[in-house]
Amino acid sequence: MKNLLKILAVLLAVMMVVPALAEEGRPNITAHKAENITIDGKLDDWNLEGAAAVVNDPSQLIKDAHMWKSQEDLSVTFYLAWNEENLYFAADVTEDTPLGAIEMLPIDGEDNIVLHISTDPAADPERTEYGTNDFMIYFVMDEGDWSTAVDRSMLPKDVMKSVRYKSIGMDGGENVLPGYECAYTQTATGFIWEAVIPWSALSMENELQDKKCSLERYTPAVGDVLGVDFSITDIDYPCPGTEYIPQMAWTGSKKIESNPSQWGSVTLAE
């Protein structure tokens, strides 16, 4: 009996350790609660402690790696902050040809920043398909027009039908996130960009969505852990038609666009 109890104790310990190991292998950042953040392209009013998602290594290239030259060619540090009404998103970008979006290219081939995020803290981090609360959000890097788009084309049909929050803005040239604001400042090596996105824009409260959309607005709270990832696309050429466009991501491969199990996470803190 004693031996049996020892075996059961060992099995229980293993069962507790395995999930912990899986979480330890998933990169995590902290998003602090926003206090009086002004959208001006500066980060001096942000709490950046533990908040940096750094993208600067060749191992983080997920597309056309052979065209990436160095960290000076393309690298970025991403940050998130939050409050009950808004998500705040910032990027300190190093790029040798910044703000080079070209209108005639498809939005996923533009100079862009992409935020992959779940608004469901209860979502299984090991899920391999997008769920009802998973979003791929584009921010096109254009000096005069930071248009946005939300891609939900990867959702299974039954999931899409259940909430009817559809893809919007994928033809480019518009803002599809009501209440969204952004600003940037140029630096010696690139630029700093920051934005505010109302949580309501990722719900049925977005007036651009289907009238039958039923996706409830997320109300964030301290301690919530959300799935998240970031990517950036860089066009080096001044004209369209380029075949190779380097793309980097914080974690995972090109499959982050359809498989949230490759994302990292963000913990909401005070």
Flag whether the pTM goes above 0.85: yes
Q: For 41, what's the count of Cα atoms within 13 Å in the CB-facing half-sphere?
A: 11
Across the chain, which has 270 residues, the per-10-residue mean pLDDT values are: 47 38 74 97 97 98 93 96 98 81 62 96 98 97 82 96 96 94 94 97 97 97 98 72 79 98 98
The DSSP output letter for 246 is -
The whole-number pLDDT of residue 106 equals 62
The whole-number pLDDT of residue 173 equals 87
CB 135 within 8 A of CB 202: yes
Count of the separate structural domains present in the chain? 1
Neighbour count for residue 69 (Cβ, 10 Å): 11
The whole-number pLDDT of residue 243 equals 60
CATH number of residue 176's parent domain: 2.60.40.1190
The whole-number pLDDT of residue 25 equals 80
Burial label, 2 (beta-carbon count in 10 A; 0-12, 13-18, 19+): exposed
Cα distances (angstroms) measured from residue 237 to each of 167, 234, 241:
28, 9, 9
**What's the CA gap between 22 and 17, in Å, rounded?**
9
**What's the CA gap between 176 and 44, in Å, rounded?**
28
The whole-number pLDDT of residue 24 equals 58
Look up the domain containing 111 and give its range: 2-269
The whole-number pLDDT of residue 10 equals 39
